[in-house]
Amino acid sequence: MREFAHVSSNWRARETADAYLERYKIPVIWDIDTRALVRHLRMAGALRGIVATDGSAAEKLVEEARALPSMAGRELASAVTCAKEYRWERGSIPLASSFAAHAAASAGGAGPLWQAAAAAMAKREADPGVRRHKVVAYDFGIKQNILRQLVDHGCDVTVVPAATHAEDVLAMKPDGVFLSNGPGDPEPVTFAVQNIRRLMGRVPIFGICLGHQLCGLALGGKTFKLKFGHHGSNHPVKNLLSEKVEITAQNHGFCVDPDSLPSSEVEITHVNLNDHTNEGMRHRNLPMFSVQYHPEASPGPHDARYLFAQFTKMMEATRAK
C-alpha cells in the first residue's frame, strides 16, 4: 500500500493493524508507488513475484520468480482445503450489537431512547429466520463470510474437504450443496468437476468464484486465464434477468468462456460491464446457479447478497416438489 496507518482510531478498535498483522505474521509492503505497480501489471499482465527482506540481489530474485510455476495448470484447492468435515454455526458479526453492548456497558452515559433503537437494530441484523436449510459446503479454500452469510440466511452448514465424493455428500441428505471459492486454475481440479456432474439435478447447487468455474467445466464449458484478473470491490455486474447492475467485489484470475457452454442447457445470467466477461449462469432445467464474483464480500458492497436468499428459495422450491 502507499501509506500504512500505524495508529487505530475507531470505536471498535482493540489494537493497531501493526500488532494484528504481526500476530498473524502477515507481511506488509508499503510506502511504494502503488500506482506504478498497478500500471505495470495492467500492461504486463499478472506476474509471478517474490517478497524478500534478506537483501538478496534483485537479479537473483527475478531469476527465482521466473522459475516459479505459473498459476495456469495448478491445482491448489486440495492444498488449502480442510482436512476433515466440520460444522459451521456462526452468523455474521452485526455492527449494531457491538454498540448496543457498548451502550449497556457504559450505562448511564447514554440515553434510553437510542439504546432501544440500537437493540432493535441489533435484533434486525441478527434475525435467525424460521426455517433451517441443511447445506453441505465444499471447501476449495472457502471464505468464512460465505459461511456466515449462509447461517444468516437460515442454513445449517457442514463444510467438507474438496475431494469428498458426491455420494458421501448426498448421503448427508442436504437441502443444497455449496461450491466455494478457491485459488488456482479450475481445469486441473477434475475430481471436483466429476463430483459436480454427479450432484447436478439431484440437489440444488450454488457456486461462487472457483465454484462457478468448476460448474462451467462440469456443464461442458471451458475456462481461460485473464490477463491480470479482476480484483477490487467496485466491479459493475449486470444481472441479465433483472437488467439491474450490482456493484461487486471480485478476486479471480480465471474465467468461464460463455461461448463454450451449451446454450440449450445453460443461461448466462450475469456479465461484467467493464470487460463483458462472464459473471454468472444458471441451468435452464436443473436447480443450479453460480456467480464468478463474491456476493458475501467483506470488505465489499452488499448489492449481491440477494443470491443467498435465491439459494434458500431454490432449496425450498426443490423440497416442495
Partner 1 sequence: MSKRTDIKKIMIIGSGPIVIGQACEFDYSGTQACKALRDEGYEVVLVNSNPATIMTDPEVAERTYIEPLTTGYLEMIIARERPDALLPTVGGQTGLNTAVELAESGILGKYGVKLIGASLRAIKVAEDRLQFKDACQRVGLEVPASAVVSDIAKAVKLADDLGYPVVIRPSFTLGGTGGSIAYNREEFTDAIARALDASPVHEALIEESVLGWKEFELEVMRDHRDNFVVICSIENFDPMGIHTGDSITVAPAQTLTDKEYQRMRDAAAAVIREVGVETGGSNIQFAIDPQTGRMVVIEMNPRVSRSSALASKATGFPIAKIAAKLAVGMTLDEIPNDITKKTPSCFEPTIDYVVAKIPKWQFEKFPGSDTTLTTQMKSVGEVMAIGRTFSEALGKGIRSLEPHAPWRAPAEIVDAVLHEKLHTPGPDRIHWLLTALRRGMKVEEINALTKIDPWFLRQMEDAVAVEKEIAATNVNSVSSELLKKAKRNGVSDEQLAQLWRTSPEQVRATREKRGIRPVFKRVDTCAAEFESFTPYMYSTYEEEDEADTSARRKIVILGSGPNRIGQGIEFDYCCCHAAFALKDDGYETVMVNCNPETVSTDYDTSDRLYFEPLTLEDVLSVIDREKPEGVIVQFGGQTPLNLALDLKRNGAPIIGTAPESIDLAEDRKRFGKLLEELKIPQPRNGTALSPAEAVSVAKEIGLPVLVRPSYVLGGRAMVIAFDLKTVEECAAQAVRLGSGSSAERPILVDQFLEEATEVDVDALADGSDVVIAGIMEHIEEAGIHSGDSSCVLPSVTLKPEVLGRIREYTAKLAKALRVVGLMNVQYAIQRDTVYVLEVNPRASRTVPYVSKATGVPLAKVAARLMTGKKLRDIKLAVNDFDGVPELRSKNYYCVKSPVFPFSKFRGVDTILGPEMRSTGEVMGVSPNFGLAFAKAQLAAGQKLPLQGTVFISVNDHDKRFLPALAKDLTAAGLNLIATRGTAAALRSLGIEAGSVYKVNEGRPNIVDLVKTGKVNLIINTPLGRESFYDEKSIRRAAVRYMMPCITTISAAVAAARGIRAMSEGTGNVAALQDLHAMEANANAPAPTQRVTSAS
Active site residues: 209, 294, 296
Q: Name the segment binding partner 1 (CB under 8 A); options: 55-63, 158-166, 204-212, 235-243.
A: 235-243
- The span of 48-56, 103-111, 148-156, 258-266 binding partner 1 (CB under 8 A) equals 103-111
State which amino acid sits at residue 79. A
99, 178, 254, 293: which one binds partner 1 (CB under 8 A): 99
CB atoms within 10 A of CB 86: 12
236 binds partner 1 (CB under 8 A): yes
CA separation for the pair 292, 255 (Å, rounded): 8
Q: How far is CA 280 from CA 208, 277, 288, 295, 300, in A?
A: 9, 10, 11, 11, 18
Among 62, 234, 284, 309, interactor with partner 1 by CB under 8 A: 234
**Terminal C-alpha separation, the chain:** 52
Residues 151-210 that bind partner 1 (CB under 8 A): none
Q: How far is the CB of 197 from partner 1 (least distance, A)?
A: 35
**Smallest distance from the beta carbon of 149 to partner 1, in angstroms?**
13
Q: Under DSSP, is residue 133 helix (H, G, I), strand (E, B) or coil?
A: strand
Collect all residues with Cβ–Cβ distance below 8 Å to 98 and sequence separation of at least 6: 12
Would you give the distance in Å from CA 56 to the centre of its chain?
A: 36
Among 46, 64, 102, 265, binds partner 1 (CB under 8 A): 102
Of the pair 7, 83, the CB lying nearest partner 1 is at 7
Least distance CB 103 / partner 1 (angstroms): 6
C-alpha cell, 146 = 460465505
How long is the chain? 321
Region binding partner 1 by CB under 8 A among candidate stretches 51-59, 71-79, 242-250, 262-270:
242-250
**Residues 39-78 vs partner 1: string with x where CB under 8 A?**
x--x------------------------------------
Of 49 and 73, nearer to partner 1 (C-beta) is: 49
- DSSP, collapsed to helix, strand or coil, labels residue 223 as strand
Which of 155, 239, 168 minimizes the C-alpha distance to 198?
168
CB of 264 to partner 1, least distance (A): 28
Give the count of beta carbons closer than 10 Å to the beta carbon of residue 102.
14
- The yes or no reply on residue 111 touching partner 1 (CB under 8 A) is yes
* Closest separation in Å from C-beta 122 to partner 1: 11
Round to whole Å and give the CA distance between 34 and 27: 16
Listed residue (234, 235, 231) closest to 254, CA to CA = 231
Q: Looking at beta carbons only, is 42 or 60 nearer to partner 1?
A: 42
* Residue in the block written with cell 436468499: 309
9 binds partner 1 (CB under 8 A): yes
Per CB under 8 A, does 2 bind partner 1? yes
Lookup result for grid cell 444468516: 152
The C-alpha cell at 132 is 433451517
Name the minimum Å distance from CB 2 to partner 1: 5
Q: Would you tell me which residues interact with partner 1 (CB under 8 A)?
A: 2-3, 5, 7, 9-12, 33-36, 38-39, 42, 93, 95, 98-99, 102-103, 106, 109-114, 117-118, 121, 124, 232, 234-236, 238, 243-245, 247, 273-274, 298-302
